[in-house]
Amino acid sequence: MSNMHTSNTIDEVKSQLTKIREQGLSIGFVPTMGALHKGHLTLIKEARKENDFVVCSIFVNPIQFNNKTDLKKYPRNIELDMNMLQKEKCDLLFYPSEDEMLSTYQVEEFDFGGLDQVMEGKFRPGHFQGVATIVKRLFEIIEPQRAYFGMKDYQQLVIIHKTMKDNNLPVEIVPCSTIREKDGLAMSSRNQLLSKVERKQAATIYKVLKKTKIHSGFYTVNEIKQYVEAQFEKSKNFKLEYIEITDMYTLKPLKAWTQSNNVIACIAIQVGNVRLIDNIILFS
């Protein structure tokens, strides 16, 4: 098995990748916050298929957390992560410290054209400015041809796509399907924070989303939202933050099905103290 190299500094990673580019090799990039699972590994596999050289970054980005406790309890397992990446034949891991990434960073104010006014952007103020600042910074360091993002974080995917286009960064953004546990729960680093009971209950999220898809032909947008709200009122362990039915590209919430031909339902919910998100395409 070829050895994965780990770099902690921007200078080192840049000089490594200059050599790769000089050989005419293409670079695929998977940015993550670590505590890796099969969802992340699918992104690595996709990158492996389409590129000569695969780079993964692990950086728990403090400027995208609007809640200090959430940042503090975010799971970190670097040893396990490195083993998993090595097995997936990742070529280079970029694992910088907070200082390395943030000591010289400039706060950027991106104009997301309203994409950040709903859902995650509304419930986590400043979140997407933090995400886009770091993703742009990572792209400038790594200069990949392609970068891989999961559909699970759908609003993030749309916002990154726009930001890179607006800033003329020549990176192809590749969306990857959401990988799920056997019972349908979307894989997430945060799932390991759930108690046994909460973990079982969390399977309800995707079950309800699948129902919304079936119901979308028969009920109004409002009726579906009410249906979802009612499902999560059944247990006090659930605290629904939002269920939003939006156009897939503008992310504008719909009032009627006729307002869009490409529709996605997105949800954020607290199960116990753990905040989870998921989504399902209703039609496109």
Q: Residues 219-238 vs ligand AMP: string with x where CB under 6 A?
A: --------------------
Residue 176 CA, distance from chain mean position = 10
Cβ-based nearer residue to ligand AMP, 65 or 149: 149
User: Is residue 33 within the footprint of ligand AMP (CB under 6 A)?
Assistant: yes
d(CA 154, CA 279): 7
Which of 28, 39, 96, 121 contacts ligand AMP by CB under 6 A? Answer: 39
CB of 256 to ligand AMP, least distance (A): 30
152 in contact with ligand AMP (CB under 6 A)? yes
215 a catalytic residue? no
> Which region among 2-10, 148-156, 216-224, 263-271 touches ligand AMP (by CB under 6 A)?
148-156
Site for ligand AMP (CB under 6 A): which residue of 112, 149, 232, 238?
A: 149
Candidates 43, 56, 159, 265; binder of ligand AMP (CB under 6 A) is 43
Q: Which residue's CB is nearer to ligand AMP, number 39 or number 144?
A: 39
92 is an interface residue for ligand AMP by CB under 6 A: no
Question: For ligand AMP, what does the binding mask look like between residues 126 and 145, x meaning CB under 6 A?
Answer: --------------------
Separation between Cα atoms, residue 119 and residue 246, nearest integer Å: 10
By CB under 6 A, residue 96 contacts ligand AMP: no
Asked if 64 is part of the footprint of ligand AMP (rule: CB under 6 A), the reply reads: no
Active-site residue, from 40, 127, 161, 215:
40
- Single out the residue of 10, 17, 27, 40 in contact with ligand AMP (rule: CB under 6 A): 40
Give 39 or 96: the residue with its C-beta nearer to ligand AMP.
Answer: 39
Q: Which is nearer to ligand AMP, 191 or 216 (CB)?
A: 191
- Cα 113 to Cα 166: distance, rounded to the nearest angstrom: 11
Q: Counting contacts by CB under 6 A, is residue 187 touching ligand AMP? A: yes
Would you list the DSSP string of the chain?
A: -PPPEEE-SHHHHHHHHHHHHHTT--EEEEEE-SS--HHHHHHHHHHHHH-SEEEEEE---GGG-S-HHHHHHS---HHHHHHHHHHTT--EEE---HHHHHTTPPP-----TTTTSSHHHHHSTTHHHHHHHHHHHHHHHH--SEEEEEGGGHHHHHHHHHHHHHTT---EEEEEPPPB-TTSPBP-GGGGGS-HHHHHHTHHHHHHHHHHHHHTTTS-HHHHHHHHHHHHTS-TTEEEEEEEEEETTT-PBPSSGGG-SSEEEEEEEEETTEEEEEEEEEE-
φ and ψ at 142, to 5 degrees? -85, -35
Judged by CB under 6 A, does residue 178 bind ligand AMP?
A: yes
Least CB distance to ligand AMP at residue 219 (A): 28
- The alpha carbons of the chain give a radius of gyration, in whole angstroms, of 19
Catalytic residues: 40
Residues within the interface to ligand AMP (CB under 6 A): 32-33, 39-40, 42-43, 149-150, 152-153, 176, 178-179, 186-189
